[in-house]
């Protein structure tokens, strides 16, 4: 492993060979951050960042009076700082997540993604927590600056099984979360788009920033099977005899329509929605999270 570039560990095929989840998370984040410019977050520390024009409602104590004396205009000092926030990761652990046509199941990919995001959040000084979700809350790790190891331990020993009911779980999360922060949902999103829209809408109403990573296996999009066979629902156990070649066109159209509806509903709820294929490197998901995270840390 020492001879491989850090960024290579963004590849799911290589990730599957790392059994130590903390090592995986640290390696993925280091690989992702390797070569990136230092991220600047604006806050109230002692490290000066830049000036910006005064806007109504700004704290008058931050006006730089020396600049005012030279320009006859009001400018505020802004500073670099770590912004501490609550970030709760909600990982779908229902039976449908335990599917793989390639190296990783959706659940393993989701575990790796959550572990990496949590490691990155911890580096930013954020409080991280975890919910494992089926048709109810299976595990609950409340957000804390001291809970990263507990979060990773929980991810290392969990399994995907049973039926899922994300809207119900998210409604419970809404009731349990008092302090506003960020909720990051990682799921294959086999839910009614309207029901999921209402659930994330409740979180948004309570002041939470919400990010949805929609995980998808390539076979779920293409239905690449040719021979007739019996297909079993991973959550309910219902079995159906099917001929894939007769259903493929209609099936693909339904998948496209479901994704379109999800994207539209999440946009209407002002939720950041990203579709992630389990055969894709993790850097796209990490970058989306980081952009969203930093976008909310600037003092206006």
Q: What is the mean pLDDT of residues 161-180?
A: 92
From-to residues of CATH 3.40.50.410 in the chain = 85-295
Containing 230, the helix (H) or strand (E) segment is strand 229-232
The answer as to CATH 3.40.50.410 being correct for domain 85-295 is yes
Q: What is the mean pLDDT of residues 197-204?
A: 96
Percentage with pLDDT > 90 across the chain: 55
Tens of pLDDT, residue by residue over 263-290, are 999 999 999 999 999 999 888 888 888 7
Tens of pLDDT, residue by residue over 127-136, are 999 999 999 9
Residue 57 confidence (pLDDT): 60
pLDDT band at 294 (very low <50, low <70, confident <90, very high): low
Pairing of strands 209-216, 272-277: parallel
Neighbours of 189 (CB within 10 A): 23
Q: Are 120 and 184 in contact (CB under 8 A)?
A: no
Q: Does position 80 have pLDDT exceeding 80, yes or no?
A: no
Q: Are 127 and 89 in contact (CB under 8 A)?
A: no
Residue 40 confidence (pLDDT): 40
Tens of pLDDT, residue by residue over 38-78, are 444 444 444 555 666 776 666 677 788 888 888 888 877 66
**CA distance linking residue 129 with residue 145, whole number of Å:** 9
Q: Which residue has the tokens 């700082």?
A: 81
Helix ranges (H only) for 180-243 are 193-205, 218-222
**The model's pTM:** 0.80
Distances from the Cα of 90 to the Cα of 126, 151, 273, 299, angstroms: 16, 11, 14, 27
The lowest-confidence range among 82-86, 170-174, 182-186, 255-259 is: 82-86
Q: Are 134 and 140 in contact (CB under 8 A)?
A: no
């Amino acid at each position: 492993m020492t001879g491989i570039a850090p960024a290579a560990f963004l590849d799911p095929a290589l990730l599957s060979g790392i059994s130590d989840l903390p090592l995986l998370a640290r390696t993925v984040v280091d690989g992702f951050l390797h070569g990136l410019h230092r991220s600047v977050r604006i806050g109230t520390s002692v490290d000066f960042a830049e000036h910006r024009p005064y806007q109504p409602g700004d704290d008058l104590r931050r006006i730089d009076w020396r600049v005012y004396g030279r320009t006859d205009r009001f400018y505020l000092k802004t500073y670099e700082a770590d912004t501490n926030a609550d970030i709760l990761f909600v990982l779908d652990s229902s039976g449908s997540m335990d599917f793989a046509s390639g190296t990783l199941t959706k659940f393993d990919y989701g575990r790796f993604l959550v572990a990496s995001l949590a490691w990155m959040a911890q580096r930013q000084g954020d409080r991280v927590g975890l919910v494992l979700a089926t048709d109810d809350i299976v595990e609950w790790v409340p957000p804390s600056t001291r809970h990263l190891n507990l979060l990773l331990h929980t991810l290392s020993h969990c399994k995907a099984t049973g039926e899922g009911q994300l809207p119900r779980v998210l409604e419970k999360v809404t009731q349990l979360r008092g302090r506003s922060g960020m909720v990051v949902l990682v799921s294959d999103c086999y839910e009614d788009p309207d029901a999921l829209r209402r659930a994330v809408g409740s979180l948004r109403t309570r002041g939470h920033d919400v990010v949805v990573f929609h995980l998808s296996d390539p076979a779920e999009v293409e239905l690449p099977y040719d021979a007739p066979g019996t297909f079993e629902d991973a959550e309910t156990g219902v079995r159906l005899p099917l001929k894939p070649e007769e259903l493929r066109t209609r099936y693909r159209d339904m998948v496209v329509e479901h994704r379109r509806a999800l994207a539209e509903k999440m946009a209407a709820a002002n939720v950041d929605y990203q579709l992630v294929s389990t055969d894709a490197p993790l850097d796209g998901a990490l970058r989306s999270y980081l952009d969203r995270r930093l976008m909310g840390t600037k003092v206006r």
